[in-house]
Structure 1
Amino acid sequence: MTENTTAAIAAPMPTNPKERRRAVISSYLGSTVEYYDFLLYAAAAGLVFPKLFFGNLSPEMGVTLSFVILLIGYIARPVGSMAFGHFGDKYGRKNVLIITLLTMGLVSVAIGLMPSSNQIGVWAPILMVVLRTLQGLAVGGEWAGATLMAMEHSSEKNKGFGASLAVAGGPTGAVLSTLVLAIFAGVAGDQFANPAGRYFLDDWGWRVPFLFSAGIVILGLFLRSRVTESPEFEEALRAGKVQTGIPLVKMFRDAPTELVLGSLAGAAGLFLQGVGATFIVPYIVKTTAAAGDPISRSEALMMNTTGSVIAVFTIPFVAWLSDRFGRRPTMMAGGVVSVIGMWLCFNAIQSTERTLVWIGFVTLVGLVQPAQYGPIGAFLSEKFDAAHRYTGAGMTFQMASIIGAGTAPLIAGRLVNPQVGLTHLAIYGTVLFAISTIAIFLSKETARCQTHQELFIEEAVFKA
């Protein structure tokens, strides 16, 4: 082999530490912005929107329809991952991420300006469906791109940890969304969500958190504009391995098993995320009021916020363990921890005793949910090569979101009642964790495997 051939094979040089930090931080903050916008709806779905957009229906039907619109956003996410993943795999990650961020911010501001059904009738829920669909499309393209930018800029020994920092943007966005919503729920009082209001100022409280997105998006766009393109994508581009056809077609043709296993593997952790973000808060408010020691919606949101703060650190820690001990053993052990913890936390929450409710809900969100979910970013991304990773990782995660988080509040609404409390929901969660853990067991171990660059060098040496 000639010296020039060796040099060509060895290219490109790895990302330097400064670029690595910038990529990870921008992915984390950008993901935070995206999920702040997306989870604002989830936080408001059980508390605000049934009154404002379905006030002419029964409270139960209003909540159900509000959760149906929530589900529509999740259903749109795989479509977004296919669309944005197509361009992310063909033209690079960076520009696609700027588009998803801008879309998310504009939609969130539009929701904040939405008239209620008392003002425009049936057009209010129809417009909300349209806006929620656009949100889902943007988040579908966001998750994989942010995760890949963080992971592909990270060193080989820390790819799980790097990817998890982008994933940790989810609970950080949840912290911001629930915190801001809780603050304005207390400050606005009767003007937080007034179903009889006919003017903007009559129900301004819930709107302000959505309008905050405008300023946050500007910061996110600035950060993402300064990040260099993914080194692994640029390597695949130089090697001529970027897909010239349709990446989605290749995924279904060459990696159907990985798509199915990845979708099932992430479902259980996302189920707990969905239950905590949408169902548990109104459940606590309702059951504690019936027990005579009511917990306000602001306090229940603060419980979720506290747990999400802990999850911001728990997710990277579990991912760090997966870098040291492997994705599969770490996530399978996490599944056992999650099942045991879920039963204990649900029992504490349904006790309606204030201290136990606090402990149960905070532990569920901060420790139990991340136990299996923490390494999900690297686990799903490493199933696919760099030339098709945006589409593959995005598709598997978003399908897992539908199976887990998207359907969680609707299923919880059917399984939970005063007679059985959260018991049937815990049984459903246990079955889902068993399925996810089996899917993880059947998957290949990807931690500490050869990098795309090493495989390229090995292939070139063999051909030479």
Structure 2
Amino acid sequence: MSESTIDRSSVDRKSLVKAFAASLSGTTLEYYDFAAYSVASATIFGPLFFPGDDPLASTMLAFSTYAVGYAARPLGGFVFGRLGDVLGRKRVLVLTLVLVGIATFLIGVLPTYATIGGAAPILLVVLRFAQGVGIGGEWGGAVLLSSEFGDPRKRGFWASAAQVGPPAGTLLANGVLALVSALVTTEQFNNWGWRVAFLLSALLVAFGLWIRVKLEETPVFKAIQAKGERSAAPLRDVFRYEWRPLLAGILSRICPDVQYSLFTAFILTYLTQQLGLSRSVGLTAMLIASGVELFLIPAFGALSDRMNRRLLYLIGAIAAAALPFAFFPLIQGRSIAWLIIGMIVALAIHASMYGPQAAFVTEQFSARLRYTGSSLAYTIAGVLGGAIAPLIFTALLSATGSWLAIALYLAGTAVLTVVGLALGRTPDPAEADA
């Protein structure tokens, strides 16, 4: 099925904006939930759910539950990816939104270890797993929801709607946590203040559902359905016929995932435990940098429509490899100004890869297998990249006491991403939905 055969005559500007908003709002909510959890893991979940004598060991246990969310993503990719190629994009995206929202709300009311003992960390892991399953099915569909409504020649921009979700969610989550931290004492924050960010997710779920339920199915899926070209076994077909695009998608995502984990999760641990800076300083720097990245992601997405997408991505990967060798020496003086500048540069480099990423990954696959293929690439890369990254960062810091090993690790993941880009393709927009 060629792009030129798909009827987009009924898609007006209002529909495009609604699709963009539906994609953005859902991923913002789900990454708000994920960001709130990552910040809590780096700062307070250790003593609350994994009490112990060694703060670093407690943090590692907390980060292990952070990793569970990533480990659960492939299951969500398998289940919801298949449903998205069989039932449609819209229906599945409503299910994923509800799943993540409920799990996050329940984390907000979960008793701690001091109240119910060993059941607390077990329940925390279960709810984190549910979050991961939902997000595993969210990303691929959110990308398709916006990009399959838009002009394929502008796929980089339209697909970036889902990519804006992580920094937007991070901005909201950190903003709420920073505000609560400023309004209450440390004791109050540890007792109940952290729960506010998780409980507020209920409002975001309601807003996201309101937008998504009213949206129509994408023109691309309608065309596939009308022509009877839906795959009966999307999972089997991806692994049998489109394994190279899958490998390209997986590898291309690893470095951006690891870099994002470093500068939005682990960095708080490094700043507080190694440099002795306050949690609020780290949160403020992250807020400012995430705010800048909100605008840079769609900008880089649009830029990738005007230049070779893979080349832009490659430049970002090389910059990411070099970044920590400048960033960590820069912040050793504990200058807040240099920290903020370094964080802005770090997330700007991330945006140069993340902006074009959604379009690059989805256009590797044929339209009838796109939800499944994209979801698998996204979720498997998450396990290999973002899931284990905070644990590896913490272990490397504990073993060496230096940031150098962390920098070398990030550089190694950049090499994998370059290999993924080399395996990928740059299709003609006119044939992108073939």
Q: Give me the TM-score of the superposition, normalised by structure 2.
A: 0.95
By how many angstroms is 1:105 displaced? 1.0
- Which of 1 and 2 has higher RCO (CA within 8 Å, sep 6+)? 2
Deviation at 1:341, TM superposition (A): 3.0
Q: Which residue of 2 aligns with 1:280?
A: 267
Verify the 8 A CA contact 1:338 1:372 in the aligned structure 2: no
Q: 1:433-444 counterparts in 2 under 5 A? A: 433-444=414-425
Corresponding residue to 1:405 among 382, 386, 399? 386
Aligned to 2:241: 254
1:29 aligns with 2:10: no
Tell me, in whole angstroms, the C-alpha distance in 2 between the residues paired with 1:225 and 1:343. Answer: 46
C-alpha distance in structure 2 between counterparts of 1:420 and 1:58, whole Å? 15
| Residue of structure 2 in register with 1:309 after alignment | 291
* Correspondences of 1:295-444 after superposition (within 5 Å): 295-365=277-347, 367-416=348-397, 421-444=402-425
Provide the C-alpha distance between the structure 1 equivalents of 2:218 and 2:114, rounded to a whole number of angstroms: 48
1:154 and 2:150 matched: yes
Cα distance, 1:116 vs. partner? 0.5
Residue equivalent to 1:136: 132
Q: How does 1:161-240 map to 2 (within 5 A)?
A: 161-194=157-190, 203-240=191-228
Task: For 2:193 and 2:401, locate their aligned partners in 1 and report how far apart those are by CA, in whole Å.
Answer: 35
Residues 338 and 371, structure 1, Cα contact 8 Å, conserved in 2: no
Task: State the 1:418 CA deviation.
Answer: 9.4
Percent identity reads 33
Q: Which amino acid aligns with 2:71?
A: I
Cα contact 2:139–2:375 (8 A) shared by 1? yes
Question: How much does 1:216 deviate?
Answer: 1.3
Contact 1:379 1:446 in 2 (8 A): no
SS in structure 1 of the partner of residue 80 of structure 2: helix
Instruction: Note the C-alpha offset of 1:350.
Output: 3.4
- The separation in 2 between residues aligned to 1:148 and 1:101, in whole angstroms, is 15
Note if contact 2:154-2:302 (Cα within 8 Å) is conserved in structure 1.
Answer: yes
CA contact (8 A) 1:287 1:352 kept: no
Distance 1:287 1:59, change over 3 A: closer
Deviation readout 1:403-459 (Å, 9 max, x if unpaired): 22111111111222596631111111112112201220221113635143xx5xxxx
Cα-to-partner distance string for 1:51-90 (whole Å, 9 max, x where unaligned) = 1001145322211111111111100001101101111110
- Where 2:306 maps in the other structure, the secondary structure is helix
Q: Which amino acid aligns with 2:160?
A: S
One-letter amino acid of the structure 2 residue matched with residue 433 of structure 1? A
How many pairs were matched up?
431
Using the alignment, how far apart are the partners of 1:346 and 1:276 within structure 2?
11
Task: Give, as a single letter, the amino acid of the residue that structure 2 aligns with 1:340.
Answer: A
2:405 corresponds to which letter in structure 1?
H
- Residue 131 of structure 1 and its aligned partner are, at CA, apart by 0.3
Measure the CA separation in 2 of the matches of 1:415 and 1:350: 18
2:216 is matched by which residue type in structure 1?
Answer: T
Q: Secondary structure at the match of 2:251?
A: helix
Q: Could you tell me whether the CA contact under 8 Å between 2:111 and 2:120 is conserved in 1?
A: yes
Shift of the 193–16 alpha-carbon distance from structure 1 to 2, 3 Å rule, reads same
CA RMSD of aligned residues (A): 1.8
Paired residues of 1:326 and 1:446 also in contact (CA < 8 A):
no
In structure 2, relative to structure 1, the CA distance for the partners of 1:193 and 1:62 (3 Å cut) is farther
Aligned residue identity for 2:103: V
Once residues 9 and 397 of structure 1 are traced to their aligned partners in structure 2, the CA distance between those partners, rounded to angstroms, is: 28
More displaced 10-residue stretch of structure 1: 52-61 or 304-313: 52-61
Letter matched to residue 426 of structure 1: A
SS in 2 for 1:168: helix
In structure 2, the CA distance between the partners of 1:418 and 1:411, relative to structure 1 (3 Å rule), is closer
1:173-196 CA distances to partner (integer Å, 9 max, x unpaired)? 0000111111112222133454xx
Gaps of 5+ in 1: 1-7, 195-202, 290-294, 456-464
- Note if contact 1:182-1:299 (Cα within 8 Å) is conserved in structure 2: no
Of 112-121 and 297-306, deviating more is 297-306
Deviation at 1:11, TM superposition (A): 4.4
Residue 204 of structure 1 aligns to a residue in which SS?
helix
Secondary structure class of the residue paired with 2:148? helix
Is the 8 Å Cα contact of residues 269 and 369 (structure 1) preserved in structure 2? yes
User: Whose radius of gyration is greater, 1 or 2?
Assistant: 1
Gaps in structure 2 of 5+ consecutive residues: none
d(CA) in 1 for partners of 2:145 and 2:124? 31
Deviations 1:83-114 (A, max 9, x none): 01111110101111111111111111100000
Q: Return the alpha-carbon distance in structure 1 between the equivalents of residues 207 and 43 of structure 2.
A: 29
- TM superposition shift of 1:15: 2.1
TM-score under structure 1 length normalisation: 0.89
